[in-house]
Amino acid sequence: MCGDAPPPPSGEIPGNPPGGSTGGTGLCCACPAEGDLNTNGFSNYFSTSYSHSNLLTNKGKMKITRTEEGGTVAIVKSFSLAYTAGATEAANKATITSAITSAMATWQSSASNYRIQVEQPGCKTQKLTMTYASTIVASGADVAVSVDGTAAPTPPTPGLRSFVQGGTAMTFYTNGVGDIPWTMVHEIGHTFGLPDEYIYDLTSATPAPTVTFKGASLPDKTVTLSTSAIAAATGKFNFDADCVMGRNGNGKYPEYVFYWVAIEVQKIFTAAGVNAVVKVVAA
């Protein structure tokens, strides 16, 4: 909290209009704010008409810096690296470290199409740029990555698919399906608490599966998955979405994959006594 404004005379409500626990003005308009991320994406960021899991925790740190009408939301996530099944630090560290760094850069450049708009009572509307960064740490990481060197099985056996468990543990196959840079972008998406936007082998084509993303101060967004180009087994139906979280190799980042940022920004302001309206808007 910034302490740069003199206290108002007793009995007078600071700022205008009143709202929130401290009149909606618990922070000055350009005051920074920050918080730790520790939120299960399931139910807090989105819900699905299907479910792969019930825990997808987004851990990390968020720092908000502001000017009169702009600023930055900095998202930082730490990773630890362990090696197994033939993967070694000597052989794989550079590749994995660079995949994490470039995946964060990809999320950041995709986020540059959007701003986090903050409307704090008594302040000008602020449009904040999102930044994404990673650190590699020895222990206590937000995401523990197991770099797994298991050899790819011989086709037609399905290949190895890297995955995230619980949002905070990643198994990354060095010989997995898909190219390493894109796979890391998608898997890091899961560590932000984002769901897979595909579901395969349904026994009925109707109703089509949906994912509903919570919109912070925007209306929730429901995405109906499309029939997948991937051939389904006889009598089965596959669905996916035109999104980085929906199709292998896809490079699209719809507005709703950034809704969680607005949710967390709003939460940080609420904790500081500010009832801010927070939205994802076009840049």
Shortest-Cβ-distance residue relative to Zn ion: 196
Q: Beginning with the edge strand found earlier in the chain, give each strand of the sheet holding 46-48 in spatial order.
A: 46-48, 210-213, 221-224
Minimum CB distance to Zn ion, residue 47 (Å): 17
Residue by residue, DSSP assigns 129-173 as EEEEEEEE-SSS-SEEEEEE-PPPPPTTS-----EEEBTTEEEEE
Minimum CB distance to Zn ion, residue 22 (Å): 41
Which pair of tokens denotes residue 76?
């930082």
Minimum CB distance to Zn ion, residue 169 (Å): 14
Does residue number 197 form part of the binding site for Zn ion (CB under 5 A)? Answer: no
Judged by CB under 5 A, which stretch of 39-47, 54-62, 191-199, 257-265 contacts Zn ion? 191-199
Neighbouring CB atoms inside 10 A of 65's CB total 15
Question: By C-beta, is 142 or 240 nearer to Zn ion?
Answer: 240
Question: By C-beta, is 141 or 164 nearer to Zn ion?
Answer: 164
Judged by CB under 5 A, which stretch of 12-20, 121-129, 131-139, 190-198 contacts Zn ion? 190-198
Question: By C-beta, is 115 or 186 nearer to Zn ion?
Answer: 186
Pairing relation of β-strands 163-165 and 114-119? unpaired
Q: How does 242-252 read in b/e, with b if 16+ C-beta sit within 10 Å? A: ebbbbbeebee
Minimum CB distance to Zn ion, residue 171 (Å): 12
Which pair of tokens denotes residue 37?
């991320």
Question: What are the start-end ranges of the H helices in 200-276?
Answer: 259-271
Question: By C-beta, is 196 or 264 nearer to Zn ion?
Answer: 196
Minimum CB distance to Zn ion, residue 248 (Å): 9
Minimum CB distance to Zn ion, residue 253 (Å): 15
Minimum CB distance to Zn ion, residue 146 (Å): 16
Judged by CB under 5 A, which stretch of 55-63, 91-99, 154-162, 196-204 contacts Zn ion? 196-204
Question: By C-beta, is 148 or 196 nearer to Zn ion?
Answer: 196
Q: How does 143-163 read in b/e, with b if 16+ C-beta sit within 10 Å? A: bbbbbbeeeeeeeeeeebebb
Does residue number 196 form part of the binding site for Zn ion (CB under 5 A)? Answer: yes
Pairing relation of β-strands 221-224 and 210-213? antiparallel
Distance of CA 199 to the CA centre of its chain: 20
CA distance 36 to 75: 10
Does residue number 240 form part of the binding site for Zn ion (CB under 5 A)? Answer: no
CA distance 239 to 209: 7
Size of the site for Zn ion (CB under 5 A): 1
Judged by CB under 5 A, which stretch of 118-126, 151-159, 173-181, 189-197 contacts Zn ion? 189-197
Which spans of this chain sit near Zn ion (rule: CB under 5 A)? Answer: 196
